Structure 1
């Protein structure tokens, strides 16, 4: 019953359970940085495809962070 009354979302147990999402988060960050570094000339003719790629990567990172928070809140 005291666990239900605890206002903290991230305690020691929750952090340990949420560390499983560090691997996909690291992979997403790797590709985010790789994509940012490999286009030194800036926008090119396929700028629409670049926008799609940024949108996909940012939405995946946001989704993973949101899922991790929602899971930690319910554990």
Structure 2
């Protein structure tokens, strides 16, 4: 197992998940401050819940994917 968390190549691989995560964070902030559709307790809470839960799950998935990539690269380097 690698002593570093993620190296440069692993971070580049994980950028694929970072872009949608940034988009979700942008929309949470935009809808929290601008609120173009007004506030309806049920709809707005559901909207924020879906976006925030999806962003949290994506960040957890990204962490475990990075961990798996790092471990696989370490195993390949050890085998050589």
Normalising by structure 2, we get a TM-score of 0.71
Instruction: Render the CA deviation track for 1:3-59: whole Å, top value 9, x for unaligned.
Output: xx323331222111111122211211221111111239xx84x21111111111110
Cα distance, 1:68 vs structure 2: 0.6
Aligned residue in 1 for 2:54: 60
What are the equivalent positions in structure 2 for 1:1-75 lying under 5 Å apart?
Answer: 5-39=1-35, 44=39, 46-75=40-69
CA RMSD of aligned residues (A): 2.0
Task: State how many pairs are aligned.
Answer: 68
Structure 1 stretches of 4+ with a deviation exceeding 4 A read none
Q: Separation in 1 of the partners of 2:27 and 2:35?
A: 13
What SS class does the counterpart of residue 13 from structure 2 fall into?
helix
Q: Distance in 2 between matches of 1:6 and 1:34?
A: 38
